[in-house]
Structure 1
Amino acid sequence: MVPWSGLHGASGGSDVAGIRTVATKRDSAFVLNGQKIYISGVLEAERWGGGHLTLAKTDPGAGHRGISMFYVPTSTKGIEVSKIENMGRMGISTGIMRYANVEISQNNLVGQLNKGFYYAMDGFNHARVLVAGACIGAAEAILETGIEYIKQREVFSTKLKDYEAISFEAAELRTRLEMAKLLNYKAA
């Protein structure tokens, strides 16, 4: 497990074109070198087998037009997996995958060479709707918990729900949540 302080020098974020992992063509294979950070399910993939998709620069001078997508079996020699200790999302691990001369078949190229950036962007469009839906569901659960509390809690012999400042705020939050839900439906 990697504590937050042990991540110095690692990069992460949504700048897909700024990745540093490189895949070099060698005969009928590609050799991966680099690392991926904040990857979901690293321990599960290592434990249960299977693999994962990754992006790597196959033409580093071409910017986002030189990135390809690969399927990488997690058990491939040269892959090191470590977990990041973080808060939240405890149902699945988050971690780092390091590639040190990881050789994969050219058959593991997903789609066309140098089109990985475009595949990832298309995937993000779908994922954003799903993530928004999960956040809306969490917000609904929190709001319902709060509403139940203000219906039951009494202060100065009066239920909190009977104070306009509190009930109006709850109504405003419900309205904003419904707007977010409808916008997400439209996006879907």
Structure 2
Amino acid sequence: MNSLYFTEEHEMFRKSFSDFLQREVVPHIEKWEKTGTIERFIWKKFGEMGFFGINYPEVYGGMNLDLFYTVVFLEELQKIKSSGFAAAMWAHAYLAMTHLNAEGDERIKQEYLAPSIAGEKIGGLCITEPFGGSDVAGMRTTATKQGDKYVINGSKTFITNGVYADYYVVAAKTSPELGNKGISVFLVDTNTKGITATKLDKLGWRASDTAEISFDNVEVPLQNLMGEEGKGFPYIMQHFALERLIMAVNAHARAEYALDYTLEYMSHREAFGTTINKFQALRHTLVEHATEIEHCKLFNYVTVARLNKGEYVVKEATMAKLKSTKVADLAIYDCLQMLGGYGYMEEYPLARLLRDSRLGPIGGGTSEILKEILSKMIIDNKNYKPVV
């Protein structure tokens, strides 16, 4: 136990959550990976156990716990051979629901946040667009005010839970002429007329439901505006720190899982009269990866601790995701190699881990975009500030 960040209560939660995953989730993983559909009963079970409400207010059914419980939640989800299932859970709990909690009014929190914590409603965050990718400011989706409603037109893509969701948190331009200062955030029920969701066929994350969403004259009431009109961009940027940290934690956790699995395999696999964990070239490769993973993990923990105190950690979270996702990809690639032909077989976890891990440097802002953001902060002395 890393006592600097995790208490005995954290570790008790880890054991409880791990047991829950093994009992309630793992028996269904292969079916969900093949069908690409996670059955709704498991969302309800997560809700009943309080796993969606870890760091949300008690008044809405949450537990109001610190972010290291969230770290435990994320780390354990990476150990069940389905990053797609993990993504569906954390995208609901920490992408869509984060906006409900931060920008939603009391009505939205009662009607959407509370049922989301209970696992009765599923949410999706709609920011990325087909022509925009990581360029949030370049979005083309518009929301035009017409009387007592906004009319949304445009499309979003790569939306996790895009088909499962009961509601979307949608970013759209209310004043396109103002660029990133004209973006607003809306709550949109998925059963609203004019919405079409098309499921995408992916390399990895097969269990998760990723979709392209089109909005054709979708009408939402004025009260579904979340926060202030025109403040959408800083809201999104502020929450990106948490999203990037989540993806960084996911990365170090799956890399650590891959390494542990590979070390166990190598301790039994024999070649030339000895177990292959005795071969120097293989040993040195693995300890290099172990060192990189440990560095990432500790940096991620430090950054989580700072965010938990309310500090603005956009730079550090961006660094964490950039480094951790790269380290995970390289480590998992070499771990698969250590298993030889078996690493290429679907019955072993490394093949799926390799595919699933590859999304790390792409989702939540590509590594190339993150490098440019960091360049502006480090080289150009740009100072991003929190919403006030």
TM-score (norm 2): 0.44
Q: Which moved more, 1:89-98 or 1:26-35?
A: 89-98
8 Å CA contact 1:44–1:92 kept in 2: the answer is no
Task: Name the counterpart of 2:252.
Answer: 136
Residue ranges of structure 1 left out of the alignment (5+ in a row): 1-8
**Which residue does 1:3 correspond to in 2?**
none
- Is 2:152–2:215's contact at 8 Å kept on the other side of the alignment? yes
Match of 1:172 in 2: 288
Counterpart in the other structure of 1:15: 135
* Structure 1 equivalent of residue 147 of structure 2: 27
- Say whether 1:149 aligns with 2:265: yes
Aligned to 1:117: 233
Decide which structure has greater strand share: 1
List structure 1 segments (4+ residues) > 4 angstroms apart after TM superposition.
Answer: none
Secondary structure at 2:164 match in 1: helix
Q: Given the alignment of the two structures, is residue 97 of structure 1 paired with residue 213 of structure 2, yes or no?
A: yes
Q: Is the 8 A contact 2:175 2:182 kept in 1?
A: yes
Residue of structure 2 equivalent to 1:4: none
Q: What is the CA–CA distance in structure 2 between the aligned matches of 1:145 and 1:138, rounded to whole Å?
A: 10
Q: Does 1:126 find its partner at 2:246?
A: no
* Aligned partner of 2:222 among 91, 106, 113: 106
In the TM superposition, what is the alpha-carbon distance from 1:12 to its structure 2 partner? 4.3
Task: Compare the two structures and name the one with the higher helix fraction.
Answer: 2
Q: Among 169, 174, 197, which residue is 1:53 paired with? A: 169
Q: 2:185 maps to which residue?
A: 69
Task: Answer yes or no: is 1:37 the counterpart of 2:195.
Answer: no
Gaps of 5+ in 2: 1-128, 305-388
Q: Percent sequence identity over matched residues?
A: 38
Amino acid paired to 1:40? T
Aligned residue type for 1:11: F
1:29-64 deviation per Cα after TM superposition (whole angstroms, max 9, x unaligned):
10000000110101111xxxx311011011111010
In the superposition, the TM-score normalised over structure 1's length comes to 0.90
- Report how far residue 10 of structure 1 moved: 3.3
| Equivalent pairs, count | 176
Q: Are the counterparts in 2 of residues 11 and 37 from structure 1 also a CA contact under 8 Å? A: no
After alignment, is 137-146 or 22-31 more displaced? 137-146
Secondary structure of residue in 2 paired with 1:43 = coil
Structure 2 counterpart SS, 1:20: coil
SS of 1:89's equivalent? coil
With 18-27 and 136-145 compared, the bigger mean Cα shift is at 136-145
2:268 partner letter: Q
Q: Which has the higher contact order (CA 8 A, sep 6+)?
A: 1
CA RMSD, aligned part only? 1.3
